[in-house]
């Protein structure tokens, strides 16, 4: 067998073993899982995740997932907890302790203190008979028949199952809390997802003096000067009362020139588009993207709740804001 085929075979075996382990986990999602969720839903403090070694690395990810989906959580290293960091855990918290064997000495050392403080304990182990499992308020069984490691030594299937259990907890809690996309975005303000969920049209539109405006009786040649000065590739046409009469875009200009009209003699009202695509300033920027794509337009008129002109937004603005 070639080395290439051997590597592919080992990869597929690893995936198959871990896939089976996750499938077997389905049968163990029971009342203990419900109890764990109820403990976290009732928690007035934070969910504190602890774990050693690879379990600790998985624990950090579980804590991060919980925090970003509506359940305040943090990771505390059990070794450091024995040397002062245990003070970070209050009687308002719930602790999730992760140890596949259920016998990690650094965690077992903490159990008497957690019990004295009356802190609910959720354990994730692969041994329901272990001291950690039997001491816990709720135990989640992450047992696996075999690790994907051919030596049976490196945590592989067991850490995968633990991670899946953590995700299952986080998603169940997310739905139970009625957690919304907007709330998720507030936890991710620096990312593209946060911008897509939080950014409003009014946050990036061109407003005030930046809006190109001409009256209906303006010569097309002068309207082109306004378009050039404001640099938005279009102009609004506003009557004496301030009401929007229409718009004139680069596309309108091409059609006007193709028809042979003289820009020095033609009034803007005779070549403008009387109907324009509009969006309210309180709409999400992503809604503006969708409207532009569906209507094959480059810019939108932005209005307030009463329909009055408040700004202009272009696809370029959305691209610059990293919404698209």
Chain centroid to CA 237: 40
Distance, in Å, from the CA atom of 214 to the CA atom of 227, rounded to the nearest integer, reads: 9
Exposure string over 90-106, b if 16+ CB within 10 A, otherwise e:
eeebbbbbbbbebebeb
**Residue numbers of the chain with a pLDDT score lower than 50:** none
Q: What is the pLDDT of residue 186?
A: 57
Q: What is the pLDDT of residue 30?
A: 94
CB atoms within 10 A of CB 148: 24
Q: What is the pLDDT of residue 189?
A: 52
Q: Which long-range contacts (CB under 8 A, 24 or more apart) does 288-297 make?
A: 288/201, 288/313, 288/318, 289/315, 289/318, 289/323, 289/324, 292/318
Q: What is the pLDDT of residue 199?
A: 81
Q: Which long-range contacts (CB under 8 A, 24 or more apart) does 131-136 make?
A: 131/102, 131/103, 132/97, 132/99, 132/102, 132/103, 132/104, 132/107, 132/108, 133/102, 135/111, 136/97
Q: Which long-range contacts (CB under 8 A, 24 or more apart) does 321-324 make?
A: 321/195, 321/199, 321/203, 321/204, 321/285, 322/192, 322/195, 323/192, 323/195, 323/196, 323/199, 323/204, 323/285, 323/286, 323/289, 324/289
Q: What is the rounded radius of gyration, in angstroms, for the C-alpha atoms of the chain?
A: 31
Distance, in Å, from the CA atom of 192 to the CA atom of 201, rounded to the nearest integer, reads: 16
Tokens of 16: 């198959």
Q: Any alpha helices (H) in 69-156, and if so which ranges?
A: 78-81, 105-108, 111-116, 131-135
Distance, in Å, from the CA atom of 186 to the CA atom of 285, rounded to the nearest integer, reads: 16
Q: What is the pLDDT of residue 323?
A: 75
Q: What is the pLDDT of residue 70?
A: 86
Q: What is the pLDDT of residue 86?
A: 83
8 A C-beta contact, residue 268 and residue 220: yes
Q: What is the pLDDT of residue 184?
A: 64
Chain centroid to CA 32: 29
Q: Tell me the torsion sign for CA atoms 160, 165, 168, 170.
A: negative
Instruction: List, in order, residues 6 or more apart from 115 with CB less than 8 Å away.
Output: 121, 135
- What is each CA distance from 256 to 124, 213, 223, 272, 276, in whole angstroms? 72, 19, 13, 9, 17
Q: What is the pLDDT of residue 131?
A: 96
Distance, in Å, from the CA atom of 238 to the CA atom of 159, rounded to the nearest integer, reads: 65
Reported pTM: 0.65
CB atoms within 10 A of CB 150: 13
The DSSP output letter for 284 is B
Q: Which domains does the chain have, with CATH numbers?
A: 3-179 (3.40.50.10490), 201-320 (3.10.580.10)
Going along the chain, which residue ranges are E strands? 47-51, 73-75, 94-98, 121-125, 138-141, 213-214, 234-238, 244-249, 278-280, 299-303, 309-314
Q: What is the pLDDT of residue 87?
A: 84
Q: What is the pLDDT of residue 318?
A: 87
């Amino acid at each position: 067998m070639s080395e290439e085929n051997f590597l592919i075979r080992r990869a597929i075996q690893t995936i198959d073993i871990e896939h089976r382990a996750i499938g077997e986990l389905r049968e163990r999602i029971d009342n203990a899982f419900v109890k764990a969720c109820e403990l976290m839903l009732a928690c007035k403090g934070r969910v504190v995740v602890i774990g050693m070694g690879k379990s600790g690395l998985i624990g950090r990810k579980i804590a991060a997932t919980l925090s970003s989906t509506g359940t305040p959580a943090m990771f505390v290293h059990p070794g450091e907890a024995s040397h002062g960091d245990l003070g970070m855990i209050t009687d308002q918290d719930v602790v999730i302790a992760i140890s596949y064997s259920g016998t990690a000495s650094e965690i077992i050392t903490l159990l008497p203190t957690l019990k004295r403080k009356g802190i609910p304990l959720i354990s994730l182990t692969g041994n329901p008979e272990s001291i950690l499992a039997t001491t816990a308020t709720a135990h989640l069984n992450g047992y696996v028949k075999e690790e994907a490691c051919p030596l049976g030594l490196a945590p592989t299937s067991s850490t995968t199952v633990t991670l899946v259990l953590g995700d299952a907890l986080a998603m169940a809690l997310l739905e139970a809390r009625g957690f919304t996309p907007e709330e998720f975005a507030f936890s991710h303000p620096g990312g593209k997802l946060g911008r897509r969920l939080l950014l409003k049209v009014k946050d990036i539109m061109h407003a005030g003096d930046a809006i190109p405006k001409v009256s209906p009786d303006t010569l097309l040649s002068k309207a082109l000067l306004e378009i050039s000065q404001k640099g938005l590739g279009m102009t609004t046409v506003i009557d004496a009362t301030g009401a929007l009469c229409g718009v004139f875009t680069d596309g309108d200009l091409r059609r006007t020139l193709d028809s042979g009209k003289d820009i020095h003699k033609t009034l803007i009202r005779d070549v403008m588009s009387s109907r324009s695509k509009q969006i309210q300033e309180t709409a999400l920027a992503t809604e503006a993207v969708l409207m532009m794509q569906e209507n094959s337009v480059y810019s939108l008129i932005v209005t307030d709740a009463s329909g009055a002109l408040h700004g202009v937004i272009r696809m370029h603005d959305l691209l610059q804001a990293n919404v698209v």
